[in-house]
Amino acid sequence: MEMIITYQPAKMNTKVKMNTKVKMLILLLCMTGIGLFWRGYMSPYTSPQVLGGPCACRRCLSEANPWFVQHFNQSVEPFLSAKYLLTEDSFNWWRRLQLEKRSFSFYKETVDQLFQMFPSSPRVEGPRPDHCRTCAVVGNSGNLIGTPYGPMIDYHDIVIRMNGGPTQGYEAHVGTKTTHRIVYPESAVDLDDKTHLVVVPFKIMDIEWVMKALSTGFHGRSYMPVRPFIKANKDLVMVVNPAFLRYVHDNWLRKRGSYPSTGFIAVVLALHICDEVEVFGYGADADGNWNHYWETLKNKRLKTGLHPGNHEYDMIQELAKQQSLKFYKPT
């Protein structure tokens, strides 16, 4: 009798373990099926990828049409590195954006100091024939409220957000995942250790700021308050190349406006570091106001200032029309 009592629970426990394994296997199969469904059905703008292509997507950006090739320049470095040398011509264009008065030689000295503190080359995964680099670019438009895009956004390999756009409290609409946060000093927020801090510099002070805000503290002045300290992983800091800003302004915006917004810079940046790009949360509301999804709109005449907002939005729509990205509009 004791043998039966001792043996029977062990037999039942084995069944429980087997049932647990079966359930886990079913769960994994379901997750794989959802992934395949997303790749195949939710990206109808793609076409079948030929084996041996530059990436494992059904269609790679490097296989784009003539319209895209006319605007896209793969040779422009998106990020500064220790080996990259900005031309004086591009510096002179850049210095006019916010009336930089310091010299080209001072800029070069500042960049040299930058790479004494941060990695000499940014971490950017290149294209591979066995992998598809998927990007979600999440704008800050109030149009995101009420959308179900959160889980779709989180599915991507790279999720790019900009400025202070929060996720907490808005998870269903904007998701929870962030791999890259694009900011300038006046819009910076604290980051966790896994998120890339991507700084868009509009003046030399912006490069000085990222060094000091992550070390001794920044104590300078700008057109609006700047945080003296921020939290971020120093190994994941990336600084956008001033020549890349010029390229976005000249090639993609045809020199409209004074300079591109961080939102549009994020879109073009994604075209350079990803194989498939999907864009969420861009555009004005039904009344033409460019409001943020986390704010109650007080200024009913809010526009885009120095940025060519309407033209940027039209360009995103044209990119979608040309099947160079997928643009999710309000539901």
Catalytic residue among 155, 259, 293, 328: 259
Catalytic residue among 156, 196, 307, 313: 307
Q: Which long-range contacts (CB under 8 A, 24 or more apart) does 300-307 make?
A: 304/261, 306/257, 306/258, 306/259, 307/257, 307/258, 307/259, 307/260, 307/261, 307/264
Tell me if residue 307 is catalytic. Answer: yes
Residues annotated catalytic, as ranges? 259, 307
